[in-house]
Amino acid sequence: MTIAEKILAAKSGRNSVMPGEIVEAYPDLVMSHTATWRSVSVMQKIGATKLYDPNRLAVVLDHISPAKTEKYAGDQQISRNFARKNGVTKFYDVDSGIAHLVLMEAGHVVPGDLIVGTDSHCTIYGSLGALGTGIGYTEVASVWITGKLWLKVPASFSITLQGGFAPGVCAKDLMLYLIGTLGADGCGYKSVEFYGAVRDLSVSERMTMTNLAMEMGVKCAFVPPDEKTAEYLNGRLEDASRYCPVSADADAVYEREIEVDLATLEPMVACPHEVENTKPIGDVAGTHIDQVFLGSCANAKYEDLVVAAGILKGRKIDPGVRMIITPGSKQIMLQAMNSGVLQTLIESGGLVTNPGCGACAGDGGTLADGEVCLSTANRNFIGRMGSSKSSIYLSSPATLAASAIRGVIADPREFLR
Amino acid sequence: MQSVIEGRVYKFGDNINSDIIIPGRYLIYIDRERLGQHAFEMLGEGFADKLRSFDILVAGRNFGCGSAREQAATAIQGLGIKAVVASSFARTFYRNAINDGLPIVECPDLFADVAEGDRIRIDLEAGTIELAGKHYAFPKLPESVRKILELGGLAAYLQTQL
């Protein structure tokens, strides 16, 4: 069996499952973010009061936080009160950061877990070997109450990485290349497992990969747990005995096997208004930008901030560009503060906001008609950051930093020479 | 939910994402009416009003991709749309549509033949779509899922289980 098949079998009390089968599975964790109040409203509407297991709930207020309007404030109050009243101990308020990163940092994501949540980028939990997938708020309420949901067992693809990245190229470029090559539904309904040189990539890079995998339509994506996973989780898990990595069997069946030579990749940029609209940096270099956004669950981890600061150190961004930096979590922000990374980013001309989803979810950094933003986020859909007449390009943190300095989209390799 | 849905078609292309269907700034709402007012707003002023004169959306591949926001399905219902037929759906939209009581049909064969304004007849029970006398078969939804749709969505279904 593949990793997805093994996890779905285990969580539905079966010895084995086949792709296409529908199972009734019991998730280990149900994540809800700013959408929590909507699930609470479903419970109220149907008159349900009892949770299956409050220990399986995690609530993180990350989108539009702190509250920007009375409506948001009221909604967050509902979520907060719900968590308090029901003894939800995995509750993280507006100071904490982006749900995905917060939950992984806090040791709530364990290899082999099944995790569902009100966010499509739950696929990121596969960076630690857990099956993460997105569901809507009504279904979250349903899992809160019943503890289970139906899931179709996906067929699996394997993507084997060979070689290593050239300087200035990273996991974001790999994923933009894959999304551009395979398409927005190139892995539709599939589980994707990464092999080969993924062993050489950091857990932070793996998070970027399993996060961006969503943009090629995956149900879930995995990096098989290894010593780097164990090292990341060391000291984070409440119960260390829960560390039981799941790997695929030698005879696991993959519907498609893809190979990528990392050494041949260049910095990539996704152009408006679809993520699959990717181009090598040479084709878009020189494109005018008004704003850059270093943020989101895809690329606002500590390593991402370090990469950007490495290029920006001792330099100033172009006066025509606004640089918004939104650290992924409070922990990341503290680390960047203590190491001087934040100071470098601020001195180069950046504006640092509170941790959270920020501008990626339309919270601040709104774009006016005709404005162009280069972002490290995972989506460039029309109007996502403001006006329907604005444009979003997506890139790695290195490309973002180089572009902020030049005032136009620029090749980060120019700064590595 | 009716098992036969009939009406005029509006046709979309591939990869219609949920940010297009309902922009993030309106996720503060969960009711059909208000979400319907802002559905597809990014495609221009008056576009939603235009859609209200149609009954069924037909789309290409990967309809509803992107964000897992359930309100994408709710907003479509808010426009008075009775069903969505697509060559394929993003999995989050597919689940959300069922849970919101919006009938969805995966039928890749229909796409090339149908045009804006055409009348189609979807028979969910039989698993067929009729367009100008021609029939297109689609795989019927599993019984358990149809039960949720019949009751008008997951919330109503859950209520029967309490």
- Model's pTM, two decimal places? 0.98
- Give contacts of A72 with chain B, Cβ < 8 Å: 28
Residue from the list A71, A217, A384 with its beta carbon closest to the beta carbon of B19? A384
List pLDDT tens digits, range A80-128.
999 999 999 999 999 999 999 999 999 999 999 999 999 999 999 999 9
**Residue ranges of domains in chain A, CATH in brackets:** 3-236+243-260 (3.30.499.10), 267-415 (3.30.499.10)
Quote the pLDDT of residue B143.
Answer: 85
Quote the pLDDT of residue A376.
Answer: 98
List pLDDT tens digits, range A182-229.
999 999 999 999 999 999 999 999 999 999 999 999 999 999 999 999
pLDDT category at A21 given cuts 50, 70, 90 is very high
Q: Is A188 on the interface with B (CB under 8 A)?
A: yes
Place of tokens 């892995």: A187
Q: Average of pLDDT values for A156-185?
A: 98
List pLDDT tens digits, range B12-63.
999 999 999 999 999 999 999 999 999 999 999 999 999 999 999 999 999 9
Place of tokens 């576009």: B47
Residues in B lying within 8 Å of A, measured between beta carbons: 14-15, 17, 19-20, 23-25, 27-28, 30, 41-44, 61-62, 65-70, 73, 88, 90-92, 95-96, 99-100, 142, 144-145, 153-156, 158-159, 161-162
Say if residues A76 and A65 touch (Cβ distance below 8 Å).
Answer: yes
A36, A381, A382, A392, best to mutate vs chain B, most B CBs in 10 Å: A381
Interface A-B, measured as beta-carbon pairs within 8 A, has a size of 119
Q: Is A274 on the interface with B (CB under 8 A)?
A: yes
For residue A337, pLDDT beyond 70: yes
Number of H helices and number of E strands within chain B?
8, 7
List pLDDT tens digits, range A376-404.
999 999 999 999 999 999 999 999 999 99
Sheet holding A29-32: strands in order across? A90-92, A57-60, A29-32, A114-117, A131-134
List pLDDT tens digits, range A230-260.
999 999 999 999 999 999 999 999 999 999 9
Residue from the list A47, A133, A381 with its beta carbon closest to the beta carbon of B66? A381
Percent of chain A with pLDDT over 90: 99
**Residue ranges of domains in chain B, CATH in brackets:** 4-161 (3.20.19.10)
Say if residues A278 and A399 touch (Cβ distance below 8 Å).
Answer: no
Quote the pLDDT of residue B26.
Answer: 97
Residue from the list B61, B66, B154 with its beta carbon closest to the beta carbon of A120? B66
Residue A111 CA to residue A224 CA, distance in Å, equals 9
List pLDDT tens digits, range A260-279.
999 999 999 999 999 999 99
Structure tokens at B21: 């269907």
- Give contacts of B41 with chain A, Cβ < 8 Å: 383, 388
Of all residues in chain A, the one with the smallest CA distance to B145 is A150
A322-325 and A350-352: which strand pairing? parallel
Quote the pLDDT of residue A362.
Answer: 85
Question: Chain A: nearest CA to B133, how far in angstroms?
Answer: 32
pLDDT category at B2 given cuts 50, 70, 90 is confident
Q: Is A20 on the interface with B (CB under 8 A)?
A: no
The reply to whether residue B90 touches residue A217, judged by beta carbons under 8 angstroms, is: yes
List pLDDT tens digits, range A277-305.
999 999 999 999 999 999 999 999 999 99
Q: Average of pLDDT values for A139-154?
A: 98
Nearest to A410 by CA among A319, A327, A292: A292
Q: Residue A230 corresponds to which amino acid?
A: A
What spatial distance separates the first Cα and last Cα of chain A, rounded to whole Å? 46
Nearest to A45 by CA among B121, B79, B30, B77: B30
Say if residues A254 and A158 touch (Cβ distance below 8 Å).
Answer: yes
pLDDT category at B1 given cuts 50, 70, 90 is low
Residue B142 CA to residue B125 CA, distance in Å, equals 11
Residue B147 CA to residue A150 CA, distance in Å, equals 13
Report ipTM (2 d.p.).
0.96
B61, B95, B149, best to mutate vs chain A, most A CBs in 10 Å: B95
DSSP A2: -
Q: Which residues contact A146 (CB under 8 A, 6 or more apart)?
A: A52, B158, B161
For residue A41, pLDDT beyond 80: yes
Say if residues A190 and A42 touch (Cβ distance below 8 Å).
Answer: no
Residue A373's H or E segment, with its range, is strand A372-375
